[in-house]
Every structure is written in structure tokens, then in C-alpha cells.
Amino acid sequence: MKRRITFLVSPQENEASEDALHLTKDSLEIRGLKAIREDRFTLTFEELPQFAKDVVKQTQELHIRFDNGKDYEDKWKGPFASRLPLGAHIFATPLRESKMANLCSFISKYADIPCSSIEAAFITRGRLKQLYVPDTAALSNILKPLANKICGPSKKVCKDKVLALSTATSVDLRYDATTKSLEVNAIWATSNGNAKDGAWDILVKPDTPADKIEVGVLTSGGKSPEDEITLRGKLANVGQDNELTPVRVSFPSRHHSRQNIYTADFNRPTGLHPKLEVTLALGGNSPADGCTLNAYFTVPQPFFVDPYQLEDDKLMKSYGINKVKVVEGETDLEAPTWAMSKWGALVLAELDIEQYLSTWEKKRSPMEFTLPLHIRYMPTHPEKHSETATLPWPVVFWACPSEQWSKMSTNPFDRRMLGYEEYFSEETYFHHLTPKLINSTNSISSLEVPILNSVDSQSIEWGTMGVIVIGFLWVFGTIVASFLGFGGKKVGEHQKKE
């Protein structure tokens, strides 16, 4: 197994001092280091446990991603700029005609995500299958049973290392049938509590002589050419090197961060046709000529979008959206949640920035856009009169054309298959805005949806039946009375008067 640990120090922080890093013959001690941390593990197919082999051997390519939706816009993210809506994202391409039944069984058993089959649970995008779960606890839920499965009940140190991944800001698992290797990437925006002020106090040491651990402590290397990132710092192969080696590297980066922020929330009152309004502190210019501003939404049940409504260009212009590029997934306009087997839908929209940029110098106001949504009917409950429905905030980014895309293979931090970049050409670079959390702890909005209380529904059912029975008896009695002649006298008197 290969392991790479990278600490990314913000330019605003003091560069790591000699006292912060202490390299010995078989370990590296790090003290009081404020940085974003990335751990990358690379395992060959032969090194995987049997249950993992059973899953990946049916896939050509598999990506499982978790994001906790936390706010860390004050950190310099460098090559870690790419973002996803919070929750669990699974992208899988089957190997030949495989149904990937083992993947479905795996997520049902370990992640507690309903999956009777890939066809029933995943939405289809060509050969690619996609599943999304808007649950920030999805990672910890899956790690608990996996820790016992991988390590065994008696290996506490191993289990602690596996469970430590649950504190990460994001975790990616990627398997490629071509290389037959599994990569696990975990990023922490701050320390998971092992030091004050989010600083790192750790001892890096190989578990076995065969393990290879490369550690880098890097920061910004200064101004870089367009579409590139430059880093400088120190590297060491723990257990092999006697001293830290100075290094300076530059490479094209597909993803970049912007200082601009955004917030999102539902318009109030919401009703059963809520609208998610997103406010952008955008500034007055785009990263480069030819860039488009886009928003990528994951819309889980019980929300849904009306594709016919999104095709109304005039209406969408009034909502600040230039055009809706993609709508994939469940878009049935009438089905209740219990009739839907798939997780929901995705929407990719290009925002209308032309008018905003032309008037920004005069108005200097934030930009706003809105996605119209609808709520499906939800199941009854014996104790509740409402359910909480949550919608993750979209990912907002500039998509810019570039001629440097062919050099991307030299990027050691490149991140692919995020769900939205496949809808752009290979020559595209992404500049991400950062969600700003004000009244919440992560990037998600929620509302209360009224549902039918099943206890009350019984009273309603009996009341309805009573009204039907009374009405029937009244009609029946009236008919019987007419046959028995009780109404004849009145009829005769009426005729006599005439």
C-alpha cells in the first residue's frame, strides 16, 4: 500500500518552521501545523479485502464520494478547490454487461441505502449510473460496519484509523479496472480535534517496512500562469529519507477557487411549490472571456422539478437562469414518493449574467437566481403531521475554455467524475464559488412538509363512511317512501289546485 499525506498551509499562516517538522529514521513528527490535510491511499486489486474485490470486479470505473457540506471559505484551498453538494455520491460504469449486483448489495448492507437493483435505484446517464443520498451521516454509517469487516473486532488501532475518516471534510474512493487499483482520498479542512486552533499534532510512521509514506508540507509558490497552480515546500519519504527536501512544483489545475461566496434558502412562505433562491456576492467580472456561470443541483425526493416549466425560456429568464442545460432522473409530475424507486434528479443550469455584469458598476448589488421546485405527496405517519424535507445547496462555478487541458495528466491532485464536468468539453476549467454558512452548520436548506396523520386519517375514513351511509339511507328511504305512496297526497293536492 502506498500513502501520500499533503499539508497545505495557507499563505496567511506562517510557513512551517523547523520546529514544527521533526524527521527521524523511521517517523515524522508534526506539531502545531495549521493546514488543510489530504491523505491518499493507493491499493492494488490483490491488496483489497474479498468483499471489496467482489464489488469492483463488476465495474469498469467506480467513484464513491462523501462531502460534509461544511464551510471553510477562509482557508486557501489551492488544488483542493473542487466542490460537491453535501452527502454521498456514487458513480459507476459497469464492466461489459455486468448488472453490478454486488455494488447494490454492498450499499444496502453497509450504507443502509435501499437498493433492490442498480436499474431501480440509480439514474442512468448513458452507461454511467448515478446514485445520490443527501445525508451527512452516510460516511460514518458505512465506516462503522466496515471497520469491523476490514480490521476484525480485536484490532483497535486499525479500527480507529478507519473511523477517523468520518471526521474528514470529504472522502473519495476511486477504482479503475484499467490500472486495477483503488485510491482513497480524504481531506480535512482543519484538525479533527487533536490540537488547539485546528492545528495538527501527529506522528507519521509506517505500519510495516513495506508501507511507503510520502509527506509534503506545501504552501503557495507565488503567482502562477493562467490555469496553473504553483506550490513550494518540503517533501520526505518517511522511513527512507534522512532529511526534508525543498521542492517547488507547477502544474495545470482543472479546478480553482474564487473569493466570491453565495448563500441559498427557500422563499417564504413555501407551500407545496417552493423556490430555492440563491444569492451570489459575485463582483463585476468573470475569470476570463468566454466563461459561463453555472449551477449544479442535486434534487432528492421528495422534491422534484417540472421539465416543461424549465423549458420556458421567458420564465427562467425571470428567475435569473439563461437556460437549463440538463435535467436527468425522476421527473414524473404526479407520482407520490412511495411510488418512486430512484433517488431524484439532477439539474445543470447556465445563469443569466450578461445583464448583471453590465449594470454592476452602477448597482453594486448581489446577483440572485431561483430554481422552481415542487413537493411530492409523502407517506402518512401515526405520530406526525409534518416531515422535514432537505435540499442541498447547488455547486456554483464558472466554466471557462482553455488551451492547457492536454497537460492535465501532470496534476497530482486532479479530481474527475464530479457529476457536472462531463457536460462540458475536455478543454474546460472550473472556478468555484464558496457557500457561506450564516444560519446553518452546513450547506443545506430545509422546510416542513405537511403529511396526513394516519391516526387522524382513521377518523376521517370513519367520518367519510358515516356520511356515505347516512346519505345512502336518506336516498333509499326517499325512494321507498315514494313507492309506498307517502308522497301521493301531496302530488294529488298539487294537481287539484292547478
Q: Provide the pLDDT confidence category of residue 465 given band limits of 50, 70 and 90.
A: confident
Same domain, 432 and 490: no
Average pLDDT, the chain: 86
pLDDT, average across residues 211-218: 90
Alpha-carbon gap, residue 3 to 236, rounded angstroms: 12
Q: What percentage of residues in the chain have a pLDDT greater than 70?
A: 90
> Could you give the CA distance from residue 431 to residue 402 in angstroms, rounded to a whole number?
12
Task: State percent of the chain over pLDDT 90.
Answer: 44
* Residue 157 confidence (pLDDT): 82
Q: Provide the pLDDT for residue 496.
A: 47
pLDDT band at 494 (very low <50, low <70, confident <90, very high): very low
pLDDT reading at 341 higher than 80: yes
Q: What is the pLDDT of residue 440?
A: 73
Beta sheet of 36-44, edge-to-edge order: 123-125, 128-133, 87-94, 59-67, 170-176, 181-188, 36-44, 2-9, 212-220, 228-238, 245-252
Q: Which amino acid is it at 122? A: F
178 & 271 share domain: no
Same domain, 228 and 319: no
Mean pLDDT of 265-269: 87
Cβ(63)–Cβ(183) below 8 Å: no
Residue 231 shares a structural domain with residue 264: no
pLDDT tens across 105-148, in order? 999 988 888 899 999 999 998 899 999 999 888 888 888 888 88
Which range among 42-46, 60-64, 91-95, 472-476 shows the weakest confidence by mean pLDDT? 472-476
Report pLDDT for 424: 93
Residues 235 and 325 in one domain: no
Strand bridging mode 36-44 / 181-188: antiparallel
Give the three cell numbers for residue 93. 460504469
Residues 249 and 261 occupy one common structural domain = no
- Given a contact cutoff of 8 angstroms between Cβ atoms, the answer to whether 366 and 396 are in contact is no
Q: Cβ distance 234 to 16 under 8 Å? A: yes
Q: Are residues 314 and 433 located together in one domain of the fold?
A: yes
Check residues 383 and 9 and name the one with the higher pLDDT: 9
* Sequence-distant (≥ 6) Cβ neighbours of residue 413 within 8 angstroms: 6, 38, 79, 80, 253
Same domain membership, residue 337 and residue 436: yes
Domain stops at, among 238, 253, 268: 253
Alpha-carbon span 120 to 103, nearest angstrom: 13
277 and 208 assigned to the same domain = no
Can you give the pTM of this predicted structure?
A: 0.86
Residues 294 and 264 in one domain: yes
240 with 264, same domain: the answer is no
Boundary residue ending a domain (253, 281, 302) = 253
Range of the domain at 471: 455-497
Residues 70-103 have pLDDT tens digits of: 866 666 788 899 999 999 999 999 998 899 999 9
Mean pLDDT of 347-365: 87
351 and 217 share one domain: no
- Total number of domains in the chain: 3
Tell me what pLDDT residue 439 has: 72
pLDDT(498) > 60: no
| Residue after which a domain boundary falls, among 226, 253, 280 | 253
Lowest-confidence pick of 12-26, 67-81, 82-96, 330-344:
12-26
- Amino acid at residue number 134: P
The pLDDT, as a whole number, for residue 491 is 45
